[in-house]
Structures are given as C-alpha cells and as structure tokens.
Amino acid sequence: MIPRSFEYSAPGTLNEAVSLLQKLGPDAKILSGGQSLIPMMKLRIASPPHIVDINRIPGLDYIKEEAGTLRIGALVRESELERSELVKSRLPILIDTTSVIADPLVRNLATVCGNLAHGDPANDHPATMLALGASVIAIGPQGEREIKVENFFPGLFTTALQPDEILKEIRIPMPPPSSGGAYLKLERKVGDYATAGVGLQISLDRSGACSRAGIGLTNVGFTPIKAQKAEAFLTGKTPDAPTIKQASELAADEAQPIDDIRGSADYKRDLVRVLTARAINIALVRAKGGA
C-alpha cells in the first residue's frame, strides 16, 4: 500500500520546525528516521496531513559527554550509537539495546530519540532510559524544558511532548565507578519486538552493596514500566543469590502483561523474572570490571 497524500516541509533550523508545528497544530508529524512512522503511513494506520522533516537541520547528530552527562542529539542513528566508543566504554547497556533493534538496515536510519518519541511500549530504548534515570529535552515555542523519562510516557503511544514540541536531546547521567548494566529481551525471531525485555543498571559501593538500582520493563504493559519496588529492594543490599531472586520476583510482580500472540500474561511475567535475574548478574560482572 501507499500512504494517503500529505504536505511535506523540510525546515532548515529548529526554530523553523517549531514555528511550523505551532502553525499546523496536532495534524503535523515529525519525521526523523521514519522507521515507525513511514510503515504506519503505508498501512494507513496513521495518515498525518503534514510531515515536518527535520533531517536537514544541522547540528543534531551528536553523541558527547558534557558535565558528567551523555547527550544524544535528535538525529543520532541507532547505528551511530552502536559504533560509539564513548558509549561502548561507559554505557554498554546502550549497545545491548541498540544492537537488538530490528536489523542493520533499519538501524542505519532509525533515530534513538525517535524510538522514545514514538511512545511504543514495545520499543527497546524506553526501558533502558528508565533504568539509567535519563531525561529528554523538548523544544517548543516557549523554549526548552527537561522531562524525566519516568514522566514521559503517560499512556499507550502517548508522550509528554506537546503538539508544537520536538524532542531535541536525550540526557543520561554518566554512572559512577563500579557501575554496570544490561538489556535483555526475548523475541520470536531476530529483529522482532520483544515478547518481554528488561533494562537494568546498578552501582556498587565500596562494600559491594548496591547504592543505586534502575530497572525498566519492555512490552509488558501499556507503557514502559519502571520497576520501583524491585529497585528499592535492591538498593542498600549486597546482591547475593537470595537478593537477586527476590528482586527478580518483585520486578515480575510489577509487570502488567496481557495475553496475545507472543504468549500468555503468566508466561511474560515469568520471562521478566528470568531476564531480571540474568541482567543483574551481567550488570554485576560489568560493575566489577568484567567484559
């Protein structure tokens, strides 16, 4: 199928793009990577009357560390994140995440920010960003504002962005020494959406106890889920086998899956339990300097 007809604009600056959104209202959609929007338009699941293509705006394809924060610009492709030496050395959980998104052809076009802005609970980056305590920078007619990722997904395919705002940047606090993370998902075939997924990031203090824990869950609810009870349980404890078991069970209890073609709700909940335990063990190895 082909999309319905639409008007197309390609602004050269962020201010021009915001002005267009302000003028066109909620009927306009932003195009960055297009790997979710274009297929939906072809299937006529979505038929926006106006597309605002931001790919010609310069200076939005950066990955950099600044003042203890990793900053990812709106036009950074998944493949660019995958190749970043800075990300590989400091935040391997992001490599785990981007490397299991679709396939190389998609990752060459898809943007990291677009993965969040689409608001799909089956997308992989939201859980990882929840685990990392990330925030996003939105720019609109009133200027910039920062939104915590935990407040960014109010509902299914819905974000906290206003119709005249653009997701300009993701900001991730750089983890302290003795930190590690992992993202794991089970998929029916390579490149598929997750049946269930878990993003986890921990930091250890000098005694080996967990000083911070972040856990995000993929595709087990109508929004990405922050497993707050499991995070709170891990914090302050030495992550031994009984602690890991209990934390994994708490994360599973916080999942809100439904029966669908990928499996039953009970099956998905148990997947969360298993994947959380595995992610904790991988994160511990990385926090202690392992590969």
Report residue 291's pLDDT band, with 50, 70 and 90 as the boundaries.
low
* Residues 100-125: tens digit of each pLDDT: 999 999 999 999 999 999 999 999 99
Residues in the chain: 291
Buried b (16+ CB within 10 A) or exposed e, 106-134: bbebbbbbbbbbbbbbbbbbbbbbbbbbb
* Residues 146-181: tens digit of each pLDDT: 999 999 999 999 999 999 999 999 999 999 999 999
Q: Is the pLDDT of residue 34 over 80?
A: yes
Q: What is the pTM of this model?
A: 0.97
Q: In this predicted structure, what is the pLDDT of residue 107?
A: 97
Task: Enumerate residues 6+ apart whose C-beta is below 8 A from 109.
Answer: 33, 34, 35, 77
Helices (H), 152-240: 228-234
Instruction: In whole angstroms, give the CA distance from residue 166 to residue 276.
Output: 33
Q: Is the pLDDT of residue 1 over 80?
A: no
* Residues 252-271: tens digit of each pLDDT: 999 999 999 999 999 999 99
Task: Enumerate residues 6+ apart whose C-beta is below 8 A from 289.
Answer: none
Tokens 């929007």 belong to 37
Quick check: 191 and 103 in contact, CB under 8 A? yes
Instruction: In whole angstroms, give the CA distance from residue 64 to residue 55.
Output: 19
